[in-house]
Structure 1
Amino acid sequence: MLIMGLSLYLLNLLYLQTTGTGLWCYDAQNSCEEACPDPSRWAAQFPSCGGLRQSPINIVTSKAHSNSALPPFNFIGHDEHINISLMNTGNSATFSLPQSVQLSGGALPGKYRAAGFHFHWGREGSPGSEHTIDGERLPMEMHIVHIKEPYGSLAEAEHDMAGIALLSFLFEESADDHPQLNSVIEALGRVQNNGSSTEVKNFRLSDIVPPAPELHSYYRYVGSMTTPGCEQAVAWTVFKKTLAISSRQLSAIVSTCRFWTGQPMIDNFRPAQQLDGRVVYKSNSGVPLPSLTLVFSFYLLLHI
């Protein structure tokens, strides 16, 4: 119980650090009866949301710069069986991950510790990914949030332009269920209301995320968190390999949770943001990649 309580405390702290202290909404939450700050108005309350390195983006595959110096990742702890916490934070449903789940490689400047993961989805019959590929929005997107060592929190990491590493996995609809997603869907059904929480026992991240050799192809760009305060401290990796989810599972996910306003948690994605001169790289080709330090320094100078 002590471990469970500590996990929920850390999960709530993660939520507060990623959303700021003010209330905000997605487009789907606004109605004639009640209005709250939707994505087009986030910047008025959270200035970083109006910055020039915002996420998500539309990835134009033909314009991504090929790069042979983006190596594979090293996933640590993905095969561990762990008990994880899940909390409905009012704007999302966030799963915690222990610090034993780590990430290195992928041309990232150091080792990163996992903090948690969450999903973005649409509504019945409509796609809901945050990143779009050549203008196409996919059914769902999973984000795994990592904090660079030795930072102890997202608040510390956000002062480093590569302080946070976010892995993005896009889902495509399939005829058959993704069997390992069923425990996730069942857990989402237990946290329908804002502030509710539960535990997922004997969870293994590798049941959802493919092994590193299958994830050698990806896109990389510098960006931000996709929720307020939109901290511009993220090295984004969007994997080309898509994951499977059935229409039945999508329908189940869409009907699970409610926002803090009490409305169904649907269309919980931020619209694509302007690229504003940034370069999107793609792995597996023959042009050496400048160091991330140089890339981040260039964008810092460009957008001062």
Structure 2
Amino acid sequence: MRSHWQKQVIVLLCLGRVSANMQQLILPALLASFWTLCTGAGDWCYQSQFSCDHQCNAPDKWNHAHSDCEGKYQSPINIVTRKTSKDERLTPFQFDNYQQTFRGTIKNNGHSVQVGVPHLSTVSDGGLPTSYKAVQFHLHWGDNGGPGSEHTIDGEQYPMELHIVHMKHHYTDLITALSDPEGVAVLGFFYERSNSANRKYDPIINALQSIKATNGNTSLIPMSLAQLIPAEQNLTTYYRYKGSLTTPGCTEAVIWTLFENPIPLSMAQLRVFSELKFHDEKQMVGTFRPVQPLNGRQVFRSGGAVILASSVLLMAAIATALGLSQPN
């Protein structure tokens, strides 16, 4: 909405009643005020939400509302596998009570879907300084099954990414944990498109129909964290780095773990997430922050990660060689 003085200035400019010298003074201020109105001091948003009709701070302007978002150690990042360093301390994780079922509430919070988790499931070892208890999980996705993960591996963006957020076991709330540089540990999982539906995700997928509008929430049927992620024996290959929350306030207090083995979902299951709505009724798509600069940080890998990558390359080389040796 233009102010009264802006409307008056525009009329005078159009009628030619402002001198050339005055125009040189007025126009820059007028344009700047329009830019402020358009990009304004409103709530933060994803790039897919931004328009002049919706005054919000897109990712490149998050620092306008939250100064920590221009910190040096931000997330997500692109992981260049050949530049990762093997760390022998990145041993297999100990998952406790991940199999325990709970009846959570799933909510459309206007930016994603989030499920609160009773503080019973914990994770330890895996190079973590102490044990961490699960607090909540949420997801980031693209547009109808298109690229949508926050982190990328060698530039590849997966369709979706799951974040299981944990805090150090002795904290009672996430805000306090975020004041500790290592207070939060997030386990990140990628998704891949599958030819068949993943029935373990039925509680989540079915519930999405009831929470399409912002602030919609509904109870989930009993489920466990373990059913959402790969089997524990398939969680030994992962990457580790120090970073931040991927939404404002972008607090740099997160130990990130990104697992190599993706979770399968069918295209139909992936598309259901795009039926949700932002608070302005726009389709909730592209709910990811672009990758951030490393700024000298080192990304580490567990022992299995490079072995798996090497075996894949070896098999590909063998297959190529066999193909070349076949007669035409």
TM-score clears 0.5: yes
CA contact under 8 A between 2:167 and 2:184: conserved in structure 1?
yes
5 Å matches for 1:33-182? 33-182=53-202
Aligned length: 264
Structure 1 residue 211: Cα displacement? 3.1
Letter in 2 for 1:179: R
Say if 2:293 is the partner of 1:274: yes
3-state secondary structure, aligned to 2:297: coil
Structure 1 residue 125: Cα displacement? 4.8
Q: Choose between structure 1 and 2 for higher RCO, CA contacts under 8 A separated by at least 6 residues.
A: 1
Pick from 261, 268, 279: which aligns with 1:260? 279
| Map of 1:8 onto structure 2 | none
Say if 2:243 is the partner of 1:223: yes
Say if 2:217 is the partner of 1:197: yes
Deviation by residue 1:234-283 (Cα, 9 ceiling, x = unmatched): 0000001111011111112221x111222111100000000000000000
Say if 2:227 is the partner of 1:213: no
Alignment partners' CA distance in 1, 2:48 and 2:84: 31
Alignment partners' CA distance in 2, 1:170 and 1:126: 13
Task: Give ranges in structure 1 of 5+ residues lacking alignment.
Answer: 1-21, 287-304
Letter in 2 for 1:276: N
Structure 1 residue 32: Cα displacement? 4.2
CA contact under 8 A between 1:68 and 1:285: conserved in structure 2?
no
Task: Tell me whether 50-59 or 145-154 shows the greater mean CA deviation.
Answer: 145-154
Q: Which has the larger radius of gyration?
A: 2
Please state which structure has a larger fraction of its residues in helix: 2
Deviation by residue 1:115-156 (Cα, 9 ceiling, x = unmatched): 110111100252100000101110110000001121111211
5 Å matches for 1:177-188? 177-188=197-208
Task: Tell me whether 175-184 or 234-243 shows the greater mean CA deviation.
Answer: 175-184
Task: Tell me whether 205-214 or 221-230 shows the greater mean CA deviation.
Answer: 205-214
Deviation by residue 1:43-101 (Cα, 9 ceiling, x = unmatched): 11101100011000000011011122211111111111210111111111101111111
Letter in 2 for 1:89: N
Letter in 2 for 1:225: L
Pick from 290, 303, 309: which aligns with 1:284? 303
3-state secondary structure, aligned to 1:83: coil
Letter in 2 for 1:172: E
Runs of 4+ in 1 over 3 A off after TM superposition: none
Task: Give ranges in structure 2 of 5+ residues lacking alignment.
Answer: 1-41, 306-328
Normalising by structure 1, we get a TM-score of 0.84
Alignment partners' CA distance in 1, 2:175 and 2:52: 36
Alignment partners' CA distance in 1, 2:242 and 2:75: 9
CA contact under 8 A between 1:66 and 1:285: conserved in structure 2?
no
When residues 88 and 101 of structure 1 are mapped into structure 2, their CA distance, relative to the original with a 3 A threshold, is: same
CA contact under 8 A between 2:141 and 2:148: conserved in structure 1?
yes
Task: Tell me whether 204-213 or 82-91 shows the greater mean CA deviation.
Answer: 204-213
Alignment partners' CA distance in 1, 2:95 and 2:67: 34
Alignment partners' CA distance in 1, 2:288 and 2:63: 16
When residues 125 and 103 of structure 1 are mapped into structure 2, their CA distance, relative to the original with a 3 A threshold, is: closer
CA RMSD of aligned residues (A): 1.4
3-state secondary structure, aligned to 1:119: strand
Deviation by residue 1:19-41 (Cα, 9 ceiling, x = unmatched): xxx72100000124323101000
Letter in 2 for 1:113: K
CA contact under 8 A between 1:220 and 1:236: conserved in structure 2?
yes
